[in-house]
Amino acid sequence: MSTPIDTYWRLRLTEVAESLRANNFAVSLVDSCEEAGRVFLDDLLPASGASSVSFGGSMTLVKCGVPEALRQRADLQLLDTFDKNLSAAEMYERRRQSLLVDMFLTGTNAVTMDGKLINLDMIGNRVGAINFGPRNVVLFVGRNKVVDTVEDGMRRIKEYASPVNAIRLDKKTPCKKTAQCMDCKSPDRICNVWTITEKCFPSGRVHVILINEDAGY
């Protein structure tokens, strides 16, 4: 049964979905991460005809169970950029190669009510793939990523998402100790490349799955 909070967010997410579609993104609106994973694996992936797939860092994607499901698929060429058997150099090269796969999966750091995507990346492979390269992109986006404006999104990322991710990744950055951005010069700094995606080109290349559940950071 839906709670008042779920109903509230369904209304908000419906508005976000309309804005994203007006900006040429394809959109699915689902009630849970479990449903998001099912929609992707049963509908979006087969419909795309993709034979090669890769993904960027996203705790939402992990919560939806997609990376592990893809690792079990013998019919797909998976460029797993988080394979712990890879050396640092091999991992970097695989991330370069992932820019040319048929389908790339990840999340977004924030999405605005008027349908813009805001992201901040360490290496740039994730934001690079969102905006150019792979023929198809699918983004898994929890309701907690919704913000009113681009400025709100950037503030959310710098004040919350980036410090939390630095802590999660055990980075040697000041924010790991202070829980706030210090605009550091650390070699481990994860805040290097900003992108704001106002519209999708070509139309429908990026499919956003909006999830009526908190997911990711």
pLDDT of the residue at 83: 87
Ordered DSSP codes for the chain: ---HHHHHHHHHHHHHHHHHHHTT-EEEEESSHHHHHHHIIIIIHHHHT-SEEEE---HHHHHTTHHHHHHT-TTSEEE-TT-TTS-HHHHHHHHHHGGGSSEEEE--SEEETTS-EEEEESSSHHHHHHHSSSSEEEEEEEGGGEESSHHHHHHHIIIIIHHHHHHHTT--SHHHHHSS------TT----EEEEE-S-SSTTSEEEEEESS----
Q: Does the residue 122 lie in any domain?
A: no
Query: How do residues 115-130 score in pLDDT, each as one tens digit?
Result: 999 999 999 999 999 9
Nearest to 194 by CA among 136, 141, 128, 135: 128
Query: How do residues 53-88 score in pLDDT, each as one tens digit?
Result: 999 999 999 999 999 999 999 999 999 988 888 898
Residue 1 binned pLDDT confidence (cut-offs 50, 70, 90): low
Query: How do residues 123-151 score in pLDDT, each as one tens digit?
Result: 999 999 999 999 999 999 999 999 999 99
Q: Does the residue 181 lie in any domain?
A: no
The CA-based dihedral angle spanning residues 63, 214, 202, 20, taken in that order and rounded to the nearest 10 degrees: 160
Q: Does the residue 106 lie in any domain?
A: yes
3-state secondary structure 110-149: EEECCCCEEEEECCCHHHHHHHCCCCEEEEEEEHHHEECC
Residue 160 has pLDDT above 80, yes or no: yes
Q: Does the residue 17 lie in any domain?
A: yes
The token pair at 40 is: 């992707």
Q: Look up the pTM and report it.
A: 0.95
Q: How large is the average pLDDT for residues 158-169?
A: 94
Residue 199 has pLDDT above 80, yes or no: yes
Q: Does the residue 74 lie in any domain?
A: yes
Q: Does the residue 188 lie in any domain?
A: no
pLDDT of the residue at 2: 81
- Tell me how many domains the chain contains: 1
Q: Does the residue 83 lie in any domain?
A: yes
Query: What CATH number is attached to the domain comprising 58?
Result: 3.40.50
Residue 80, domain extent: 4-116+132-147+198-211
Residue 89 has pLDDT above 70, yes or no: yes
Q: Does the residue 123 lie in any domain?
A: no
Q: What percent of the chain has pLDDT over 90?
A: 96
